[in-house]
Structure 1
Amino acid sequence: MTKLTLHVVAIDDTVAGIRTLTLARADGAALPSFTPGSHVVIEHTGGANAYSLTGESNAPSEYVVSVLECPAGRGGSRWIHRELRLGDTVVVHSPRSAFAPVSRARRHLLIAAGIGITPMVSHLRSARRWGRDVRLLYVFRERRGAYVDEIRSLTENASFFTDRAVFLAALTTTLATQPFGTHAYLCGPNHFIDDVLAVATELGWPLGRIHIEHFGGELAPGDPFEVELHSDGTVFTVESGVSLLESLTAHGYVIPNLCRQGVCGECRVPVRSGVVQHRDLFLTDDERRDSMMACVSRGSGRVELDL
């Protein structure tokens, strides 16, 4: 994974609780292009966190991310809000996407809550560039909406909500009236995603046309599962609420790790057999055939690891 050392060239605190950073090379040279819906991992004093890129994706001169302050989080947002200053340098992993627009989709329906709007902004930029049919539903708390003016400049097909009941009513109507071939993209807190999925399922939406970007650190505890290590036949149980990474460490195995959110790729472990519940934002579909991210993904029944 390529790492970039970038400078903080702008900070915007216009929206309460949300800090927007603009990052660039010292010489202003172009940065690697990225797929709409991509994120970057930013290293901080306590580890690393992933943040969606909201700026221009084609040979950009800067990367732009917006970070919601989460006092009870893993520390990344506190560091960005309280310690990072204009002119500081940060280490950024090259962009990666697990939330790209589906090129064959007849229409792209973007549904976001709160800071979950961030990956949708690059989707909107891409849709405008390529002339794709796009719609957006965005719900947020009063005076806490991010990118509202920019969204209005990117599309005329955006609807904004600050009332949950009004949003849910509009959501039901919208999901019920989409043309065949529409793909939906969801990003926001888990309870929001659950609400949208419940409505979509009731209306008969196939899961293959619904794409989800979860917030890091909000994963459910999951059911216990067994792990067998191929090298020595060791078998142990990963309990509910305990990660595979934590269990491996407790049994004396040293697994490289950094973000503990399934975004950096450091704790990837090889899988020989078994059913894996993939929860990461790093591995491709092909890589998931024989790998899993120990920090967030879980097994079902028994999983044999090539360790």
Structure 2
Amino acid sequence: MSLQTPNIAVRVVRIEQASPLIKRFTLQAQDGGQLPSFSGGSHIIVRMPTASGLIHNAYSLLSSPFQLQQYQIAVRREEASRGGSAFMHEHVAVGDILQISPPNNLFPLHAISGRHILIAGGIGITPFMSQMEELQTSGAAFELHYAFRSREQAAFVDELAARYGAHCHFHDAARGEQCNVASLLAQLAEQDHIYVCGPVSLIEAVKAAGAAQGIAPARLHWEQFAASTQSGEAFTVVLARSGREIRVEAAQTILQAIEQDGSAAVDCLCREGVCGTCEVAIVQGEAEHRDQYLSEEEKAAQQSLLICVSRARGERIVLDL
């Protein structure tokens, strides 16, 4: 995706309080037409003109891939956000026009699988809602394991139970119902695929359990909404086209450092390592990849990085800018 990708104008036709911190927004094309098709697990990027400038946030599509008269997204109110969730919760009203990108899918279902095992934590339920619609329509075998802090804070529980019944397993921490990841993965058949979305701790637990049980990495799929907030060592980025050297501090991203320096124009959208807009070729050095856009093979090749989240592995990296 690039900044040249045309925006789609949509009208907000409904806003629901899905939980104390989560709102669901229903969007229809401003011209009344059909919206672009998408597959389960897709997201759109919403363009938000906040007081501090334009913000572009990625949100999973909740709605059915088979009903293209509307899209639905869910937005969790985040106190530590860059302003996007606050804008959606406090300033967007029914009737407003928003600009969105066409759908993109970085978290698709595997075409050939035994069972599809979906593991969600908190707001990580959102990409699975369109996936389950796709799975149920195709008659595929699947089950959902949805972990949350309490029933009162969880979104869509009753809706999921009513629509998917025995496919759903809910794990309410307030009632002592923990999702035993190791036990769950131990029951998998050889052709089953696992999908996980939620907090970093949940994703890492599933990845660790999968590795411990010898599950092939190709059978484990994950999506993490927020970029890692872990800082790193300071380093120097060199812009190969001008020779300009810029210091990137420990708590700074390469993108932030370049923008602060003002020496190069860089396209960017999501700033979360999701959309791929800010991908830049590596001329010299290696990257510590923190994005969700590049494949494991692309990361290992060390030919490019996403400068909104990834860092240098070492004291210096030269980029094709």
What TM-score, normalized to structure 2? Answer: 0.85
> What is the identity, as a one-letter code, of the residue corresponding to 2:239?
L
CA distance in 1, matches of 2:213, 2:242: 49
Equivalent AA in structure 1 for residue 26 of structure 2: T
Paired with 1:31 and 1:61, the residues of 2 have a C-alpha distance of 6
Counterpart code for 2:290: R
- Alignment correspondent of 1:107: 115
For residues 49-75 of structure 1, what are the alpha-carbon distances to aligned partners after superposition, in whole Å with 9 as ceiling and x for unaligned? 111001011361111001111122111
Does 2:313 correspond to 1:300? yes
For the pair 1:63 / 2:77, whether they are aligned, the reply is no
1:124 maps to 2:132: yes
Deviations 1:48-104 (A, max 9, x none): 211100101136111100111112211111111111111111111111111111112
The match for 1:15 among 7, 12, 19 is 19
Q: Which moved more, 1:280-289 or 1:212-221?
A: 280-289
Q: Could you tell which deviates more after superposition, 55-64 or 260-269?
A: 260-269
Shift of 1:223: 4.8
The alignment of Structure 1 onto Structure 2 pairs a total of residues equal to 306
Alignment match, 2:98: 90
Amino acid corresponding to residue 297 of structure 1 in structure 2: S
SS of corresponding position for 1:97: coil
CA shift in 2, pair 1:105/1:226, >3 Å: farther
For residues 250-284 of structure 1, give each alpha carbon's deviation from its aligned partner in whole angstroms, at most 9, with x where no partner exists.
44323233432233444332333544344334557
Query: In 2, are the aligned partners of 1:128 and 1:155 still within 8 Å (CA)?
Result: no
Instruction: Give the drift of 1:235.
Output: 5.0
Q: How many Å separate the matches in 2 of 1:139 and 1:181?
A: 24
CA distance in 1, matches of 2:205, 2:307: 28
Per-residue deviation, 1:31: 0.4
Matched, 1:73 2:77: no
1:8: how far off?
0.3
Q: Does 1:227 align with 2:237?
A: yes
The AA in structure 2 aligned to 1:229 is L
In the alignment, the residues of structure 2 paired with residue 102 and residue 12 of structure 1 have an alpha-carbon distance, to the nearest angstrom, of 31
Paired AA for residue 298 in structure 1 = R
Instruction: Tell me if 1:280 matches 2:288.
Output: no
Amino acid corresponding to residue 295 of structure 1 in structure 2: C
**Whole-angstrom CA distance in 1 between matches of 2:296 and 2:172:** 36
Give the TM-score taking structure 1 as reference length: 0.89
Q: What 5-or-longer segments of structure 1 have no aligned partner?
A: none
8 Å CA contact 2:227, 2:273 repeated in 1: no
CA distance in 2, matches of 1:220, 1:245: 16
| CA distance in 1 between partners of 2:237 and 2:210 (Å) | 35
Distance 1:278 1:97 in 2: 20
Letter in 2 for 1:249: E
Aligned to 1:145: 154
Deviation track 1:136-174 (CA, whole Å, cap 9, x = no partner) reads 1101122122222332213522110112863243x2221
List runs of 5+ in structure 2 lacking aligned partners. none
1:202 to partner: Cα distance: 2.8
Distance change in 2, residues 1:279/1:218 (3 Å): closer
Secondary structure, aligned partner of 1:13: strand
Q: Which amino acid aligns with 1:73?
A: S
> Counterpart of 1:246?
256
> 1:226 & 1:183 partners in 2: Cα distance?
40
- Cα distance in 2 between the residues matched to 1:180 and 1:191: 25
Mean Cα deviation higher: 245-254 or 78-87 = 245-254
Bigger Cα displacement from structure 2, 103-112 vs 254-263: 254-263
What is the rounded CA distance, in whole Å, between the counterparts of 1:283 and 1:5 in structure 2?
29
The one of 6, 9, 28 equivalent to 1:5 is 9
1:286–1:268 CA distance, 2 compared to 1 (3 A): same
Aligned-partner Cα distance in 2 for 1:26–1:217: 31
> 1:10 is matched by which residue type in structure 2?
R
**Identical columns (%):** 33
Deviates more, 1:203-212 or 1:106-115: 203-212
Please give the alpha-carbon distance, in whole angstroms, between the structure 2 residues aligned to 1:222 and 1:186.
26
1:78 counterpart letter in structure 2: A
